[in-house]
Structure 1
Amino acid sequence: FDVSAAANGSGLSIGQTEADRLLSGDLTLVADASRDGGAIEIETLEFQTGMLEVAASGALASDESDIEIQARLADIGPFAPGFSGPASVTGSVGQNGDGRYTLDISGNGPGGTQVAANGTVAADLQTVSINVDGRAPLGLANSFIAPRALSGSAGFRLTIDGPPALSSVGGQITTSDARFIAPALGIVFNNIDLNASLSGAQAQVSMTAAVENGGVISAEGPVALSPPFSADLGIALNRVVLRDPRLYETTVDGRISIDGPLAGGARISGDLSLLETNIRIPSSGLGGAGAVPEITHLNEPPPVRGTRRRAGLLDREADAGRSSGPSYPLDIRVSSPNRIFIRGRGLDSELGGALRITGNTRDVVPIGAFNLIRGRLDILGQRLTLEEATATIQGSFLPVVRIRATTQADQYTIAVIVAGPVNDPEISFVSEPDLPQEEVLARLIFGRGLDTLSPFQAARLALAVRTLAGRGGEGVVGNIRQGAGLADLDVTTDESGNAAVRAGAYLGENAYTDVTVGAGGDTELNLNLDVSPSVTLKGSVSNSGDTSVGIFFERDY
């Protein structure tokens, strides 16, 4: 026979999303085949849509067949988010005289993707002997690991010899110019050198990487290729710098082992040594922004939802009220004989010691703490000696501190206590005999009761509260304002972020004055005199000698 056929169509759909993408647009089919004797000769077989082109030619016979194929995908982007560009495959498939299927194909894609496969498959599909070589960009995995991201490329030289199962896979996988970013953890690995040897359904992994902030991390050991991905990995940290620019920076040496299923339950244990560690108790203004309330998103556009997904907010919502992710038991000893410095808000201290991190990654249970070696607390020229300071780790691996500084003021023993997570500690002022917190501060700073303070002294006292309490302390400031008989007492920041305190009081029915004291000692005095409901005289003078006088007219309509 000799057959020629052609067909056209559009809008073809089979109800499967990925297949429907390939079939979108106009469709054409052209076939030209003949048979002379036992073999069928395919002169032309072409199939084309807006996304896909496929062409085949060759011969089909009962004893031996050979078909040449070519295929081209216009854009791989819809199937591999983050990549765009065409992908193509060329080669041949067939069947030899003993019934085994043969293949010899190669492909190319965006980002330097290359793959070549050749070998045979038994007629009953129960055994295969195939070699696969190639290279692919690691970014192909980014849509599955977002917001984490990979870059660089992976090369592979694999064999499949035996039944079609992971146990039949062998070969090597290596990386080149690889980089890994985990923004939520603040971790960046550069120059990742990975070598994985595959054999018997497991990979023997050897990896080294440079940590962005400093140091080198390496890992070695076997990992199973099938769930639950059991592993026995040894991880070495060589002067690895861990940093949160707002809170801490430390350099770590040591070894960690991961033993068990990576899908959940693997035991994480080891010994770590901290070299110099700096923990900062951050400062923030009393007028800082409050917490953002819960927001319900209505008709959320896909780009907005994608941004929230990359930021991890969708995972946070999904995990509300239930535990998230697998759990891993912990047994890690962390030691540092000294040089753990805690600074900020007038505090300067050094700690040392050791602690053991137990529990699991969902519920961290620290045993022990780092303890005080030496330290002090300075507040408006008053220096308090630290008598207690400890630091440990809470469930989110955030440092938690408790610091107590004491001094003597007349017949009172005064203590300042800083306690809580370093990103938001609570500050309290206590005394023996017992006094309200604002009275404790007044006697600590000025050696007198709150009711005897001048407006200028009250402003300095409020500035001291701001220094110690950061964004907290509003109640203490309010009590100072009332105790000093002021109409206004406010802690502010200027355009450069410098703290300042403004204290104001009425001198009469129509006269109001306020004084502003900056953190650097700059002072400005203002006087407002209401001549009438619409006319006000204003004057000011600063410690630098600047003066100003003005007449202001104001009327509401």
Structure 2
Amino acid sequence: MRLNLVQPAFDLPDDAPLEGEMIWQGALAPLFMILDLPQQEASGDLDATIKIAGTIESPEPKGMISLKNGRYEHLPSGFLATDLALDARLDGLKLTIESLAAQDGNGGRISGAGSAGLSPEGELLADLDLSLDGVTVVRRVEARAITSAQLKFEKSPAIHRLSGRIEPTRADIDIAKSLPDDVTSIEVTEIDSRVARMDGGDDDTGDQGLAPPDERPLALDLKIAAPRRIFIRGRGLDSEWALDLDIDGSADTPLITGSARLVKGAFDFAGRRLILDNGQILLTGNANPDPLLDITARDQIDGLAIVLQLSGPLSAPVISLQSTPSLPEDEILARLLFGEQVSDLTPLEAMQLASALASLSGGGGLDVIGAARSTLGLDRLNIDMGGEDTAGTRLTGGKYLTDDIYLEISTETGTGITTGTIEWALTRNLGVRSEMSSSKDNSVSLRWSWSY
């Protein structure tokens, strides 16, 4: 070894021998934090002993790595692996995973094996197999998915591919709890991505830096098959679907072909329950996917058979109404919304009908109720015109006072009775509901719910 005192630097010859040993017996978490992986957490008991021999030019590390009582969590998706156990062997620049096993905290099992390392040229080489058996891969408020899968990741000078078969056993998607359409995306402009150096120069290391990463995109060869139990609910929809999809292309530009087929379902619309008797969503493998919809719902009102059809691309769907005997769309919609002919509608009902017709034809329409709700600053506003067996029109308005407290006021024009309701969510599963009425019919109830 030579030491330059004028410009301090170590100069080690390439053939200088190496000899050393690294031992870690303790918590995994401090080492995982060094990786700086956002919104990911890992812990466990790590036992690693690595001996280093060879030379500076050709190091020869060897050793064993063992992890017990491990836990890994991916916060954005809610994926969780518990009781994580890993046994691996390091031999030179190759790491062989002899066994990998974990639970998902919900009865699912994860297992895997394979190897990863570096070629003499510094290129990543990998051959990894992963097996999922009833694993909860998504655990969020708006979505939950349980799946089994056989996956294989291959990386070599000739191959860079993820392949396998995915068989979801159950998925629950609540579209009412997903983000609204008006969430604004923030455009980020990168002013200068260079990292300043201590000597004032730029970060261009030229040929002296690390070898550039493999620019080949990850190729995909995946099959997704679910004969049923893909549930989509919310905003009036209660449906079950089957999936048959092929995913090709690359991770940067996946090409999805196949279909989602309706098993059964219904749609609650304007207080009526329409039965979904046909439904198919087609994906044709375009780089910019725009699924084609073909969904039909039916209802029967006073001898009038009504068919509502949703068709066309997802980006510009077309909604049409037909009936037997045949009637104009405005007459069909009036029967569907209010159970009356157009000539018998009140002025407010006529305005709501005009808005609905504009929406069916692709226009925005005049959303009277929505505009009033926005002007009053309410979270919910509903006008129920009632029927022959009800006490006139019911006007209901509600607002969240905090994230956990909801206040709702309802009044009936026919009886003059006003009712106030307060709902307080104590925990995710436990809540208190208090109802006070001008008719002196007051109550307090404790509500408990559990999603399973």
In which range does the TM-score fall when normalised by the shorter chain? 0.5 to 0.7
Q: Please show how residues 257-406 of structure 1 align to structure 2 within 5 Å.
A: 257-261=152-156, 266-282=160-176, 290-292=182-184, 294=186, 327-390=217-280, 403-406=295-298
Matched, 1:245 2:140: yes
CA separation of 1:220 and 1:293: change in aligned 2, threshold 3 A:
closer
Matched, 1:516 2:406: no
Which of the numbers 132, 148, 155 marks the counterpart of 2:22?
Answer: 132
Matched, 1:218 2:111: yes
Deviations 1:303-352 (A, max 9, x none): xxxxxxxxxxxxxxxxxxxxxx9731111112222222222222222222
Q: Is the 8 A contact 1:517 1:524 kept in 2?
A: yes
**Which sits farther off after the overlay, 251-260 or 140-149?**
140-149
**Which sits farther off after the overlay, 432-441 or 276-285?**
432-441
- Per-residue deviation, 1:168: 1.4
TM-score, normalised with respect to structure 1 = 0.52
Q: Is the 8 A contact 2:293 2:317 kept in 1?
A: no
> Aligned letter for 2:48?
F
Which of the numbers 159, 165, 177 marks the counterpart of 2:51?
Answer: 159
Matched, 1:173 2:76: no
Uncovered stretches (5+) of structure 2, i.e. residues with no partner: 1-5, 190-214, 386-392, 399-407, 420-435, 440-452
- Per-residue deviation, 1:188: 2.8
Q: Is the 8 A contact 1:149 1:182 kept in 2?
A: yes
Counterparts of 2:108 and 2:289, CA distance in 1: 21
Counterparts of 1:420 and 1:475, CA distance in 2: 18
Counterparts of 2:375 and 2:47, CA distance in 1: 55
- Per-residue deviation, 1:270: 1.0
Q: Secondary structure at the match of 1:181?
A: strand
Q: How many residues align?
A: 365
Matched, 1:195 2:87: yes
Counterparts of 1:522 and 1:167, CA distance in 2: 75
Counterparts of 2:48 and 2:125, CA distance in 1: 22
> Equivalent residue for 2:338?
446
Which of the numbers 364, 378, 382 marks the counterpart of 1:475?
Answer: 364
Deviations 1:86-126 (A, max 9, x none): xxxxxxxxxxxxxxxxxxxxxxxxxxxxxxxxxxxx99953
> Aligned letter for 2:256?
P
Q: Secondary structure at the match of 2:217?
A: coil
CA separation of 1:356 and 1:459: change in aligned 2, threshold 3 A:
same
Q: Is the 8 A contact 1:265 1:327 kept in 2?
A: no
Q: Please show how residues 509-548 of structure 1 align to structure 2 within 5 Å.
A: 516-517=395-396, 524=411, 541-542=417-418, 546=438
> Equivalent residue for 2:372?
490
CA separation of 1:502 and 1:489: change in aligned 2, threshold 3 A:
farther
> Aligned letter for 2:23?
D
Deviations 1:106-151 (A, max 9, x none): xxxxxxxxxxxxxxxx999533343433336443342433313333
> Equivalent residue for 1:417?
310
Q: Secondary structure at the match of 1:362?
A: coil
> Equivalent residue for 1:95?
none
Matched, 1:144 2:35: yes
Q: Is the 8 A contact 1:460 1:501 kept in 2?
A: no
Matched, 1:256 2:151: yes
Counterparts of 2:354 and 2:178, CA distance in 1: 14
Counterparts of 2:58 and 2:351, CA distance in 1: 73
Q: Is the 8 A contact 1:517 1:523 kept in 2?
A: yes
Larger radius of gyration: 1
> Aligned letter for 1:144?
L
RMSD: 5.2
Which of the numbers 232, 236, 244 marks the counterpart of 2:127?
Answer: 232
Counterparts of 1:276 and 1:209, CA distance in 2: 20
Counterparts of 1:124 and 1:411, CA distance in 2: 89
> Percent same amino acid among aligned pairs?
24
> Equivalent residue for 2:381?
500
CA separation of 1:420 and 1:240: change in aligned 2, threshold 3 A:
farther
Uncovered stretches (5+) of structure 1, i.e. residues with no partner: 1-13, 20-121, 298-324, 505-513, 528-538, 548-557
Counterparts of 1:351 and 1:296, CA distance in 2: 37
- Per-residue deviation, 1:443: 3.3
> Aligned letter for 2:308?
A
Q: Is the 8 A contact 2:17 2:53 kept in 1?
A: yes
> Aligned letter for 1:163?
T
> Aligned letter for 1:343?
R
Counterparts of 2:101 and 2:62, CA distance in 1: 22
TM-score, normalised with respect to structure 2 = 0.62
